[in-house]
């Protein structure tokens, strides 16, 4: 390699500034790491790192604040949207995000997320849906698929007994306060790229003051699904996507001509 | 400064505004709602934050967020609301961020009623939320004292980065009295260096959390909280004494019960009974040293409350059982009349102190008859 060649080289891929260069506690094959990276890349690209305040939730993402390199608080279980509301109302000029799992956001935190969206709270929610309670060892969540075995639905989720999963995007998209609601998946490179665009759109929604934004990311949980990382990806594709269709569920008209 | 007639709940709200309240989050609940209503108009006109939350859970966590964000923040609620807020209070305590909570106590347990009571004493004073923490709890007895307490509580909460609870009962929230309001303080313009307010290139990032997975780290946090609490115990004990100089025995009562007791004590003095009134204002830290000192001067304590004798336990503990303690209280939103307390004072003066059994049992036996007679 000549000096000339080096001078012509461009950095096209590097560790995002918004993500600390440390090992995470996430299990091998878990897509939390991908989600973290995408959020960090978007925050870097938009130049928001120094102006951002994150709200961690309870669940596997409880230690999110250890990985993102900006101001962070850690909310009680399910209450991240309420805490984010308090922060955003005090600092309307700053970017406020929550990072929540499915048990946190759509089980114990159902009230907080619905009302934050209904108020058009100008915050961004990154919602990780891996169809179970990961941190506590794989119990049934509101997102657990019909028939899916978990440690608290050992014979498979019986919808006759415990009801049906909740589709969060579809639910929140009915609220007028929502500016951008989208579901993406992290199971392959193409979808990861689409997920990043959605995350970018969500933060653009907030920066432009267009209301509540949420991106649901279908994610793997190899440990609690008792699958290898590759089989977990296949399981997500075959089982979760049919139940949780990917797509945009609410797009504020002012976002429609956004290009990146 | 002019005297004005103010309703308690609105006075609480205006005192907070003048203390520099920047962000208020609340939920309607009687007998506190006028504070929320007042602030819904007052804060926006000053360009400050008012938000009606979806629940008390929402409200306390919005306060938690605003406190972490560095703002002077407050919520007001009443008993069932405080139960919902206990989760948030524990987190706020564990994160060591300052906030003010006003609890306008009503009758309970359960949905209870909307009448004045003091049944939240144990919940507020002895914690309520999970884990190891101690909120400051001040219990004023008039609207003026409530205004002054709320006004000062923001500084106290900031000083120790702790929870400041102002506990009053529904009568203080609902009644009107002539008061003097304090001057308007400027709102904070520079965010505290510990706050999650975005670093903006000016400092290292801040992380505010109440999680310490390593028990040894958690214990260090507990130790820091306790050292702060020791400072609070040293500096923030408050009480008021009436006719105590030459008293042979003392009524002990806080808040409205203390105020009703004062009428009874005055009447008893007019009859020549050498009784005084000791009115704790700081329920936490409790004026235990003062109580202990009085045991060498007095023949006994007569505790009066609007609950089943919650502070009674703390008085017995503080007195180290050196002198007898008697109790009289009403519950469920019933306020005692001065006559009832005066009757008990006369009995103690004439018959002396009983020591067999527990004062709560003696009172309950008596109360059963009283309640039947009143029906």
pLDDT in tens, A117-171: 999 999 999 999 999 999 999 999 999 999 999 999 999 999 999 999 999 999 9
Q: Which of B25, B49, B61 sits opposite A75 (nearest CB)?
A: B61
Q: Confirm or reject contact between B32 and chain A (CB < 8 A).
A: no
Torsion angles phi and psi, residue B9, rounded to 5:
-65, -40
Structure tokens at A94: 């700053």
B207 to chain A, minimum CA–CA distance in Å? 5
Do residue A82 and residue B57 have CB atoms under 8 angstroms apart? yes
Count of CB atoms situated within 10 Å of the CB of A7: 7
> How far is it, in rounded angstroms, from Cα B278 to Cα B291?
9
A78 to chain B, minimum CA–CA distance in Å? 10
For the stretch A52-70, pLDDT in tens is 999 999 999 999 999 999 9
Please choose, from the candidates B117, B168, B106, B115, the residue with its C-alpha nearest in 3D space to the C-alpha of residue B143. Answer: B168
Q: Which of B64, B196, B211 sits opposite A71 (nearest CB)?
A: B196
pLDDT score recorded for residue B338: 98
What integer best gives the mean pLDDT of chain B?
A: 97
Q: Confirm or reject contact between A75 and chain B (CB < 8 A).
A: yes
Percent of chain B with pLDDT over 70: 100
Looking at residues B93-111, what average pLDDT do you find?
Answer: 98
Tell me the count of A-B CB pairs closer than 8 A. Answer: 130
| Residue B150 near residue B72, CB atoms below 8 Å | no
| Residue B172 near residue B256, CB atoms below 8 Å | yes
Q: Which of B66, B87, B205 sits opposite A87 (nearest CB)?
A: B66
The single-letter DSSP state of residue A176 is T
Q: Confirm or reject contact between A212 and chain B (CB < 8 A).
A: no
Do residue A86 and residue B88 have CB atoms under 8 angstroms apart? no
Please choose, from the candidates A246, A24, A31, A194, the residue with its C-alpha nearest in 3D space to the C-alpha of residue A128. Answer: A31
pLDDT score recorded for residue B225: 97
Count of CB atoms situated within 10 Å of the CB of B361: 12
* Whether the predicted pLDDT of B169 surpasses 80: yes
Host H or E run for residue B181: none
What integer best gives the mean pLDDT of chain A?
A: 96
pLDDT score recorded for residue B127: 80
* Whether the predicted pLDDT of A2 surpasses 70: no
Query: Which three-class secondary structure state does DSSP give residue B278?
Result: strand
- Provide the CA B264 distance to its chain's centre, in angstroms: 23
Structure tokens at B86: 């206990």
Within 8 A of A57 by CB-CB distance, chain B residues are none
Rounded alpha-carbon distances, angstroms, from residue B48 to A7, A211, B43, B170: 53, 20, 5, 27
Looking at residues B249-258, what average pLDDT do you find?
Answer: 98
Q: Confirm or reject contact between B220 and chain A (CB < 8 A).
A: no
The radius of gyration of chain B from alpha carbons, rounded to an integer in Å, stands at: 21
Structure tokens at B261: 């007791």
For the stretch B3-25, pLDDT in tens is 999 999 999 999 999 999 999 99
pLDDT score recorded for residue B292: 98
| Residue B373 near residue B366, CB atoms below 8 Å | no
| Residue B76 near residue B9, CB atoms below 8 Å | yes
Looking at residues A89-118, what average pLDDT do you find?
Answer: 98
pLDDT score recorded for residue B1: 67
- Residue of chain B minimizing CA distance to A91: B197
Q: Which of A69, A76, A87 sits opposite B87 (nearest CB)?
A: A76
Pairing state between β B239-242 and A247-251: unpaired
Do residue A89 and residue B51 have CB atoms under 8 angstroms apart? yes
* Whether the predicted pLDDT of A5 surpasses 80: no
Cβ under 8 Å to B: A residues 35-54 = 50-53
């Amino acid at each position: 390699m000549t000096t000339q060649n080096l001078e012509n080289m461009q950095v096209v891929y590097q560790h995002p500034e918004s993500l600390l260069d440390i090992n995470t506690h996430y299990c091998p094959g878990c897509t939390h790491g991908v989600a973290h990276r995408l959020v960090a890349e978007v925050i870097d690209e938009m130049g928001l790192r120094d102006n951002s305040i994150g709200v961690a939730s309870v669940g596997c993402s409880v230690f999110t604040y250890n990985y993102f390199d900006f101001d962070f608080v850690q909310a009680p279980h399910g209450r991240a949207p309420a805490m984010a509301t308090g922060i955003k109302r005090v600092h309307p000029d700053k970017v406020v995000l929550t990072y929540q799992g499915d048990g946190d956001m759509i089980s114990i935190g159902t009230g907080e997320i619905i009302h934050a969206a209904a108020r058009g709270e100008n915050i961004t929610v990154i919602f990780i849906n891996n169809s179970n309670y990961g941190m506590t060892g794989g119990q049934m969540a509101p997102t657990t698929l019909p028939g899916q075995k978990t440690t608290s639905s050992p014979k498979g989720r019986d919808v006759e007994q415990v009801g049906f999963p909740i589709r969060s995007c579809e639910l929140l998209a009915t609220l007028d306060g929502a500016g951008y609601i989208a579901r993406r998946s992290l199971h392959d490179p193409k979808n990861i790229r689409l997920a990043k665009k959605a995350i970018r759109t969500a933060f653009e929604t907030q920066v432009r003051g267009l209301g509540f934004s949420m991106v649901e990311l279908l994610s793997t949980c190899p440990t609690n699904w008792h699958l290898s990382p590759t089989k977990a990806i296949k399981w997500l594709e075959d089982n979760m996507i049919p139940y949780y269709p990917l797509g945009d569920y609410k797009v504020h008209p002012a976002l429609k001509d956004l290009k990146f | 400064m002019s005297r004005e007639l103010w309703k308690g709940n609105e006075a609480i709200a205006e005192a907070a505004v003048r203390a520099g309240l920047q962000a208020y989050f609340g939920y309607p609940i009687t007998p506190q709602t006028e504070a929320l209503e007042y602030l819904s108009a007052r804060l926006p006109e000053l360009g400050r934050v008012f938000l009606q939350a979806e629940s008390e859970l929402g409200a306390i966590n919005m306060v938690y967020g605003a406190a972490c964000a560095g703002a002077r923040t407050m919520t007001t609620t009443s008993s069932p609301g405080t139960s919902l807020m206990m989760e948030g209070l524990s987190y706020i305590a564990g994160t060591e961020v300052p906030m003010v909570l006003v609890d306008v106590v009503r009758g309970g347990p359960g949905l209870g009623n909307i009448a004045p009571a003091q049944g939240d004493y144990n919940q507020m004073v002895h914690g309520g939320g999970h884990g190891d923490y101690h909120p400051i709890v001040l219990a004023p007895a008039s609207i003026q004292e409530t205004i002054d307490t709320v006004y000062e509580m923001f500084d106290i909460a900031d000083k120790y980065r702790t929870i400041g609870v102002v506990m009053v009962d529904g009568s203080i929230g609902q009644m009107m009295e002539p008061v003097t309001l304090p001057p308007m303080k400027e709102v904070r313009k520079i965010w505290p260096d510990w706050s999650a307010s975005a670093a903006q290139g000016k400092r290292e990032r801040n992380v505010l959390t109440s999680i310490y997975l390593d028990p040894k780290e958690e214990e260090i946090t507990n130790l820091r909280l306790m050292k702060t609490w020791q400072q609070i115990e040293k500096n923030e004990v408050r009480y008021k004494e009436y006719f105590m100089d030459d008293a042979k025995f003392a009524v002990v009562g806080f808040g409205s019960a203390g105020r009703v007791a004062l009428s009874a004590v005055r009447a008893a003095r007019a009859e020549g009974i050498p009784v005084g009134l000791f009115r704790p204002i700081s329920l936490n830290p409790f004026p235990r040293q003062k109580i202990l000192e009085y045991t060498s001067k007095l023949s006994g304590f007569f505790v009066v409350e609007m609950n089943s004798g919650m502070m009674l336990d703390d008085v017995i503990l503080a007195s180290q059982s050196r002198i007898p303690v008697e109790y009289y209280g009403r519950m469920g939103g019933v306020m005692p009349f001065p006559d009832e307390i005066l009757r008990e004072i006369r009995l103690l003066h004439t018959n002396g102190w009983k020591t067999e059994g527990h004062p709560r049992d003696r009172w309950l036996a008596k109360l059963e008859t009283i309640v039947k007679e009143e029906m």
